[in-house]
Chains A and B, each alone.
Chain A
């Protein structure tokens, strides 16, 4: 009797509400995929694929990159589904499709799950299951470990969660070779140690946003000065890690010298962030480091890509 009464209340309630007709456009769904993050994922994955030994058929290469891109987009959609409440509180994210109501959380969740399923299964069936399993792990790590667990719990959220962003070249290498090796792990480490200075530089000039949303980013929890020190320390490790593949003999001197020059500039900007702690100069230093860190990662990977292309051209005509 009681159950029936409750059901009847639910029925009456659902009848009273007008049905929601979605007005979400294709652009809203594309926004759920975080296209800017996806572009960096595609680029780093492309490098992982290109530097892998052996020949990969172009159709399989395109399939791999497409699956990795869609998997990354699916992670983004799942992230926007789960984080809609805090996204609504931050100026940087308040215009996203879920907080604005253009896409419902249920639609974002379904979109993310369907794309996750199709990207992993397609990569597994068409390319290989090592890559498929790694892509599934990447999506799980970003959506569950980072978004649901670490992000709201610890100031180390982006340090550990950075592993998800560092995995695409590893997935791509696995897609090309069916196995793992030292080189993709070195690429993983470069992105892994790049993530903290990059996101903490952003957090320095967006700390009000994060504080309002209750996200325990390092500047909010430990203060800006502790963050500046951590940025400097991680940048030192990053420069060493990014140069290591050359020192260890995996990548050649062009990469080595470039990584030293780029790393030197990155370190200089990190020192600036550490030294300039007040006012507009401090803000400017953090913005400069954030902007350059994007260029730094892009340039390092672009050099690797360029070397592969030049070597292929020389082999063809040399």
Chain B
């Protein structure tokens, strides 16, 4: 029994793939900055690690 050929669906062009990759990287960078920011401020305001005397 022959398998029915599936329609290809949405096929992204190279330009669309490139832009999507760029947007994904930008979102990852933004989220990374947010995580680092929360971590750093937790150190400053919480255990006050960054405020310790030299």
Q: Which residues of A contact B (CB under 8 A)?
A: 19, 21-26, 29, 57, 59-60, 63, 66, 118, 122, 126
Give chain B's interface secondary structure class: helix
B15 within 8 A of A: yes
Q: Can you list 11 A-B pairs, Cβ within 8 angstroms, ordered by A? A: A19-B10, A21-B13, A22-B19, A22-B20, A24-B19, A26-B26, A59-B40, A59-B41, A59-B43, A63-B40, A118-B34
B1 within 8 A of A: no
Q: Which residues of B contact A (CB under 8 A)?
A: 10, 12-13, 15-16, 19-20, 22-23, 25-26, 34, 37-38, 40-41, 43-45, 50-51
B16–A66 CB distance below 8 A: no
Q: Which residue of A lies closest to B41 (CB)?
A: A126
Q: Which chain A positions have C-beta within 8 A of B16?
A: 21-23
Option from A23, A26, A29, A66 in Cβ contact (under 8 Å) with B37: A66
A126–B26 CB distance below 8 A: no
Q: Which chain A positions have C-beta within 8 A of B38?
A: 122, 126
B50–A122 CB distance below 8 A: no
Known A19-B10, A59-B50, A122-B34; judge A25-B19 contact (CB<8 A): yes
B22–A60 CB distance below 8 A: no
Q: Which chain A positions have C-beta within 8 A of B22?
A: 25-26
Q: Which chain A positions have C-beta within 8 A of B45?
A: 60, 126
Roughly how many angstroms separate A286 CA and B38 CA in the complex, as a whole number? 46
> In the assembled complex, how far is the CB of residue A167 from the closest CB belonging to chain B, in whole angstroms?
22
Roughly how many angstroms separate A242 CA and B26 CA in the complex, as a whole number? 40
Q: Which residue of B lies closest to A18 (CB)?
A: B10
Q: Which chain A positions have C-beta within 8 A of B13?
A: 21
B44–A60 CB distance below 8 A: yes
Q: Which chain A positions have C-beta within 8 A of B20?
A: 22
A24-B23, A63-B37, A118-B34 given; name 14 further pairs at CB < 8 Å. A19-B10, A22-B20, A22-B23, A26-B22, A26-B23, A29-B23, A57-B50, A59-B40, A59-B41, A59-B44, A59-B50, A122-B34, A122-B37, A126-B37
> In the assembled complex, how far is the CB of residue B4 from the closest CB belonging to chain A, in whole angstroms?
20
Option from A29, A60, A66 in Cβ contact (under 8 Å) with B26: A29
Most central of B16, B38, B41, B44 by chain A CB within 10 Å:
B41
A23–B51 CB distance below 8 A: no
